[in-house]
A and B are shown apart, each in its own frame.
Chain A
């Protein structure tokens, strides 16, 4: 061991120097003052302690529940320890490894892969799991109402998670974004225990041009260079929209159902990977003999699985809906949906379909026509308008970014003949208005301005 220390000091190469433990598999490398390690499993309680070379423990420098991924930290950051050699001991679940490191003083870390929000989200997932209740679909969970007087605005992060509330954004970074979240989590007085029903509708990733999506996609910088949980990746998004009136195109009464939905989701825009975590409101219209029947319901979905509807939550035109979608790992999704008019809300925790992993390289607010069970695109409901407002996306790094270029992509929807059937407009940084157009509105019925 002494030889090794001499060697590293002489050459300036800081490499792995396990002095305790049998299998040095999770400390991956050391560069300068930064220690890197890998965690293979989720929800692993990980600690790091600094020891003198004589084996006396001086300080605990890392204490977090983390999910699988790569982490790094400076064990001596912020400490006033003398600049000399120490032993840093990592305990990761049942395994312990140690490494000898020189304290280089208060070296600032310009960029760290250690992501506080990712670590926090994993911790919160563990906390929430203690309060989860199974639903009528295996593997899908919900959480009951918090106790009387519980205030989600002032509650601790762990209590928010325990009671099925979405993570809280930083008010200092975006006061308006925080105010929107605050409004969203305080709307509801009645937590619904959802009764779920599997549908055969698929709200799908965006097809190019696009025949199925209309709305706004916000993407982080360099959407192709991130891994799940990186600072630049989408952690959560939320927004408010108003449920439209479902009707068929003016002048039409087809004897069939038209379909439409507005939703918020993560991924599904860039081709790789083809996953999409989403939750929204469906507004479908059937017309026969001049009489229109409508269907409104809330749903969630993780592509490539089909949508699951919530049977016991009331949705009607004009309802103001607040939705937040977030992940607690690459394979665990969460949605919180609140209806301002009925004051009902629900929380759902669900797993990715087998083989699917979230990446978090896009966030979107979309009005869509789904794929029916026969694989065909539905006829879009004439929904007139769906305005979205108070719409924010937050990254694991704790930042939020607006819809304006280069982060936002406005998308119009077209039919098979390339007519625009749904258009989007951006009235501001955190708002998008989608509107039925052309044949979906009843273009042939009008002096068609499109």
Chain B
């Protein structure tokens, strides 16, 4: 780990802690979350970037530079202002994008960013004019391209840069802006206003709640305004989960073959036994109740994210109870240590059944889990730098983290485990006659006939483990005393711990988990600097502990790239995945039951989410609903959620809004034990609608509530005639029209 980066993280932490201490426990003033807006300097009389070849840098001062064109592949220096980097915040915090005349976007590597001596507000940014995304053919060196710099989710002005020659048509002519040296004042150093308690940054409060919960509500907004982000996070770390009144639905384990009174027939005892036991109905409705009303929204959100990394699915998992027990393991560790999560997941029977580790034996090994724990749950395929960028060899090819041989060896380590056996109530307290124990952890040789050691199922030969810089144990010896089942159990248990440690201490885990958490909570394509700060928090929580998820969650949510009232970087943000899209809309409008104050979590037909390609607990495969490295076709953007944003699902998203806002879905299932369904309540908006016949009050309230104040004037202008197309007395339809159009808009599809 780069010590400068960890120092920087501690520095931020320290500065916030100071504020925290001064302000008192529940009267904290979080620092201004807004980073200054970066500027690319231009010549005085044009929007042409002030730029020079790197080779003349230092010999020719910025003020003496002449307009010129640059060759593709060359190194140049451009000048930026407005930056206030933290100590240790290096070149990987910045990105420079170029757009050619056809609108194709490229990214030029930023090699160095250095403050100019004697000039606090001028930074020399060294670029290489070689596209690092390589999606489009490189722009022809036949004229100007548009260039902008991004930092912490903020975009600079766009400027012209001559490629090959100067002049010519550029994309978005109206967007380029001149910014001569000396044209911007440095932002004054931050002052902490002792008298104001809480968090007064209204836009950022809602942005934060979009990232940390299932959608902002006025109650949460008020709470954060009062106690601030850090206190709220600390409070959430201790909150009871699941919330009071929403205990996990605990249905008894059932046999693999549904008995006649629990097969979904009309004669089920209790009623709906088949639905409740043999489907994901109970976990799903519980999940939505917690998402709608839970008092531990941060844990629910982080658990939801982790459940999309450590995937099991009701496609194969037979019973809702199995999934509930599985979700418990995730939530119990969501604010714990990642190493515990890895160990408990490995021995979890639901995962054991899903990825076939249960029943993998020395004579018939199954590689499935061994491969996925490395590829999907911890280190990924390629060696990573501490900032998450991929390490390449001398040919430029990515360096693999492991080989098939590595999979084979780990498979051996993981052989012999199976479901907790019957008739051992001390070892397996949750056993139930006639069912497989999907609750207690798996046990070594549970399925072996222990009358003869020859029936041992665990591989006793020597194994190699992953070898990487800093690895401590890279091999496991053959067992020397495995003549009894007790000795095999000891050997297998020790081997498992050593193998888990071997993976856990791999330097990839921090950036791998860090990037994943950032993508699920904040933004799809974070800068390497952001990843490195989160990875540093994973590697060391400040007290020397590796894998502390509280430290990771704080680092993800409090990073300057995440925070701020408005993000202007065109490449910042993420598509709202269907579940979050739905819950954000519903929570914004007092989600309730059809005839009850609270919804029971039943979302019309569950088909709502099937059409949008994300039914909770029913991921199609272990690769989740969408992969972390999905690139949006026709763009250079990483956008995992776009993997399920197709022509078909896009329309289903708008139809979801239509049904919930305009129709109030009926509940199709008849009693007994019928769900009460889910609707929204727009009465507060009707009051606004009645108070102002122009519709503007309504628009402004929705601008604040749904788009945290970022609605463009054009959008407002478009909304007005649609709202007033209903009579001013029809306050309900005016409110519906406004909510529908915003929720169905492209602007609202993206969390940014």
Chains A and B belong together in one complex: no
